[in-house]
Amino acid sequence: MVRQEGFEPSANGLEGRCSIQLSYCRKYLMSLIKKNTMVNNIFSQVQSFQDIFSGLDKLGLFRMNFGLERMQEFLERFQEKNNYAPEIIHIIGTNGKGSTATFIATILKEHGLDIGLYTSPHFISPVERILFNGNTFNEQDWIFAIKKLCELCGDMSLSYFEVLTCLAYILFHKYSIPFLVMEAGLGGKLDATTAMEPKITVLTPIAKDHEAFLGNTIEEISLDKTSAIQKNSTGFSAKQLNEVTRIIIKKSTEQNATLNFLSEEEYLQVPEKLGMLGAHQKENAALSVLVAKHVLKYDFSLEKTKKALQNAFIAGRMQKISFENNITCYLDGAHNEHAIKQLFENLSLLTEKPETLIFACMNDKKPEILAEYIKKFPFKQILIPRIEENERAVSPQDLALIFKNTDIKTPIYEENSLQEALKTARSKTAPFIIMGSLYLLAEFYILYPEYLSPKLTEKDFS
């Protein structure tokens, strides 16, 4: 290796005495990253869905570039050529965002409004994230949108989530959709969806998650998420922890935003049975009713609202399915303390409780804490499959050791794949549940894509 004057390489990479050299190297590397993520460099030759998905893969699902300036630049360029001012309902929170967004969109659609819905993540394909009246856009629509993005922002470097957010906005504009329900991806302050300056903010329960990005305390996380509240906007909030409520009120006051909390009236307007299972969905549904009343005003119909709530569907949220031999399986993406606690409260209400747990999780989700919650539920066996091609996933060996360190009495079995775990679970007649990670659920839906549809999902909570 050639040594440059004043520069000393080390085993850890480009570390040396010369700060100027280091600064140059960082700038050079950043310029390479920017060049390699330039919209035109990745998407200018797109001719198919596969081309789009390959381009997104090059961006990297977990490459994050915090800041609103790129989305603001996109919106500025877009509005120079288009006059589009939809009413945007912004969904912020930790748990229940996707369910609440789906409830709201379904209610408004039932009242005859055209609705654009943007949620994340997806299970099999990014097309799942962007819906028009509950339906995905076709391949030609996606190609149109990506070409429009290249035309507007070909010289810009955008992240995976920013590209999808831009494509959603372009697709919604193409069909002049007047109402958009936009779910934030991560946090609120610097999330790409916040750049749209929505005038309606919906706050689902805020809890600890993504601490590495949002802060280590519930107060820091709440500050980040509530920073999405816009000036002179209208906010709606679910029941929150006291410390979270104080921050929501403070931020709303600073922004001169009107704040509305759930009341008993909304709960009374929620039907006994919903399209999504679980007692916690009643709160998500009630929050959706509160928002719908504001949007619809005198056109609000309780009859249409109840029908919508009973038909609403989103995959992987306490989803109940039956295999061909009538074995019941539950699917749930719960992956943090708050969500797992809620899930187990729901499972305890079941007449036939799941006896087998198929579980996997990511290494940043505090698996030691999750294991403590899981060991309290009377499972008869826990199966830990390997999540394929995911560096963030805790290995079955490490996860099994974490469980054993809790002094759990339930037998733990490591499985090489989800397919093997399913074979083991289905060898018994008792119900079982798959939970702990949306990536684990994604592997299930790849094997059984038909269950992404509500048609094969049971809605009775018994």
Query: Cβ contacts of residue 51 below 8 Å, gap of 6+?
Result: 43, 45
Per-residue pLDDT of the chain (462 residues; tens, 9 = 90+): 333 333 333 334 434 444 444 444 444 434 444 556 688 899 988 899 999 999 998 887 656 667 899 999 999 999 998 999 999 999 999 889 999 999 999 999 999 999 999 999 899 999 999 999 999 999 999 999 999 999 999 999 999 999 999 999 999 999 999 999 999 988 889 999 999 999 999 999 998 765 566 767 989 999 999 999 999 999 999 999 999 999 999 999 999 999 999 988 888 999 999 999 988 899 999 999 999 999 999 999 999 999 999 999 999 999 999 887 789 999 998 888 888 888 998 898 888 899 999 999 988 888 898 999 899 899 999 999 998 888 888 999 999 999 999 999 999 999 999 999 999 999 888 999 999 898 999 999 999 999 998 765 554 433
Handedness of CA 405, 407, 408, 409 (dihedral sign): positive
The pTM of this model reads 0.87
pLDDT of residue 462: 32
305: tokens are 């609202």
Cα separation, 365 vs 344, whole angstroms: 17
pLDDT of residue 428: 87
Q: Which domains does the chain have, with CATH numbers?
A: 69-311 (3.40.1190.10), 319-456 (3.90.190.20)
Helix (H, G, I), strand (E, B) or coil at 140: helix
H/E segment holding residue 259: strand 258-261
pLDDT digits (tens, 9 = 90+) for 373-398: 899 899 999 999 998 888 888 999 99
Provide the Cα torsion 291, 292, 294, 295; round to 10°.
Answer: 120
pLDDT of residue 365: 81
H/E segment holding residue 88: strand 87-92
Paired with 332 in beta bridges are 435
Cα separation, 167 vs 183, whole angstroms: 14
Cα separation, 131 vs 369, whole angstroms: 36
pLDDT of residue 399: 94
227: tokens are 């920073």
Cα separation, 291 vs 287, whole angstroms: 6
The total number of residues written for the chain in this structure: 462
Cα separation, 63 vs 422, whole angstroms: 32
pLDDT of residue 278: 87
pLDDT of residue 397: 95
Q: Which pairs from 397-402 meet CB under 8 Å and 24+ separation? A: 399/359, 399/360, 399/361, 399/367, 399/371, 402/367, 402/368, 402/371
Cα distances (Å, whole numbers) of residue 201 to 175, 388, 432 = 24, 37, 37
Helices (H), 298-412: 302-311, 337-347, 367-374, 396-404
pLDDT of residue 212: 61
pLDDT of residue 391: 83
pLDDT of residue 222: 92
